[in-house]
Amino acid sequence: MAQEAGSTDSQVLKGVLDTVVLYALARADNYGFGLLQDIREHFEDGDTVLKEQTIYPLLHRLEARGFLDSYHRPGKRGTPRKFYRITDAGRVRLSQRTAQWRRVTALLERTVFQAEPEPA
Amino acid sequence: MSDRNRYGTNEPAFEHFLGDLDRRLLGAKRVRELTLVEVADHLLEHRDDAAERGKRTEVAVEAALDGFGTAHEYAEFQRSALMQRFARLAIVSGAAFAVMMFGMQWIGDGPAKLWTSAAQGLLYGPGLAAWLVFVQPSRRLPSSSEVEGEDFTVGCGPRMRGLTVLMMVVFSAIGLGGLAASLGFAGQESFSPGEGLAVGACSLLLLGMCWGYLTQLQVTGPGILVGPLGGGTLVRWDQVGHLRPRTERWPWMPPFYWGRVLDVEYVDTDETLRSFTIFPDAANASRLTYMVSRRLTES
């Protein structure tokens, strides 16, 4: 049962990952692993929410849709490292998604959260 | 670099994983390389991070591989992304080519060859898409020597420039033949006047595109030297005003590139607004894009 609840949490959180990635890149350009570390710091259960194999498909999908751009800069070892940068279209998408999530949160606040007692 | 360290990680377990992934990925070497370099960098970074947290090297390597998942899963993702891009490009470029051919034939001979145009589009679209997606990636990975140092060149390599010059000669000949036919000169029976005009116009358009490929951008301390085949105009950093995707001006342009074609606008010494283009498939294009955007943000 606990495992089922954990899985549901992950499903819910996966829905917001696009927004979280755009938000993290709006603050600073980053590369795959660096971004992963940055985002994990903000999730209590980061390791289960954001798998490493999830981050690249997500980044590449956002790039293909024009929300991110990428470029190569030398990494620590001097080899080319791929950095991602949010585009203007990505910023617009971020603000749209943020507004949508605010509306969802407000709706839950007015309904479910008020009716449901806090779990002990 | 020996075959045992083919991917440059100096870590046998990573080399084995990357070899497995390489065998599963779609596309020519340059296409696969874009994925392999990013994955190799990720694995090494994860290993170093785990080692810094006190894990033994063998444990850190294992953690990096476990965390990343299987080569099969990742290859499936790359395969799906490439196939989606292939389908999109094949439809867009095929339709564009069919419409162009239909227009040319309409001008020349009337609308009787509608199905011929559609068939040409069906042949041309997937052909171009397969080339762009599986053989010649729009983005070139810079070599280590290209990412080091302050001064660098953005542009196509000597082979591509040679091919471009050859294409320009061919397009010029076809274009002149087409224009001669449109003006009714004798000896141009291959084209009707309408076809000749369409062929001439298309050739001029292609010549313009080729010219863009001859342009080289030399990035130095004071600015960017813009010009075909070396030499040209020095655009100082403080002259650069905007960095705009080409699609802002021409939103109808088919998405032939994975990355975006960017126009850098600058004010010339005679106060005229001019621009030069950064093609995403040119070596060091992403590096220049980063430098320009960084400088614009800072200013």
Tokens of B116: 């011929």
Please say if the pLDDT value at position A22 is more than 90.
Answer: yes
Binding-site residues on chain A for chain B (CB distance < 8 A)? 29, 31-34, 37, 51-53, 56-57, 60-61, 64, 66, 69-83, 85, 87
Output B116 or B172, whichever has higher pLDDT: B172
Please say if the pLDDT value at position A19 is more than 70.
Answer: yes
Reported pTM: 0.68
Q: Does B38 touch chain A (CB under 8 A)?
A: yes
Please say if the pLDDT value at position B23 is more than 90.
Answer: yes
User: Which one of A41-45, A64-68, B98-102, B192-196 scores highest in mean pLDDT?
Assistant: A64-68
CB B84 within 8 A of CB B26: no
Tokens of A60: 């590449």
Per-residue pLDDT, A46? 59
ipTM summary value:
0.81
DSSP lists the bridge partners of residue A85 as A69
Please say if the pLDDT value at position A2 is more than 50.
Answer: no
| A120 Cβ contact list (under 8 Å, min separation 6) | none
Contact B290 A83 (CB under 8 A): yes
CA dihedral sign, ordered B43, B46, B50, B52? positive
Shortest alpha-carbon distance between residue B255 and chain A (Å) = 10
Contact B8 A79 (CB under 8 A): yes
How much is the average pLDDT of B30-58? 90
Per-residue pLDDT, A1? 44
Contact B289 A69 (CB under 8 A): yes
Please say if the pLDDT value at position B205 is more than 80.
Answer: no
Burial of B172 (0-12, 13-18, 19+ CB in 10 A): middle
Shortest CA distance from B8: residue in chain A: A79
Per-residue pLDDT, B165? 85
Buried-exposed string A40-73: b where 16+ CB fall within 10 A, e elsewhere: eeeeeeeeebbebeebbbbbbbbbeebbbbbbbb
Strands B233-236, B240-245: parallel, antiparallel or unpaired by DSSP?
unpaired
Output B204 or B45, whichever has higher pLDDT: B45
How much is the average pLDDT of A91-119? 85
Per-residue pLDDT, A26? 92
Q: Does B63 touch chain A (CB under 8 A)?
A: no
Tokens of B207: 């010549």
How much is the average pLDDT of B150-169? 80
| A50 Cβ contact list (under 8 Å, min separation 6) | A17, A36, A39, A40, A43
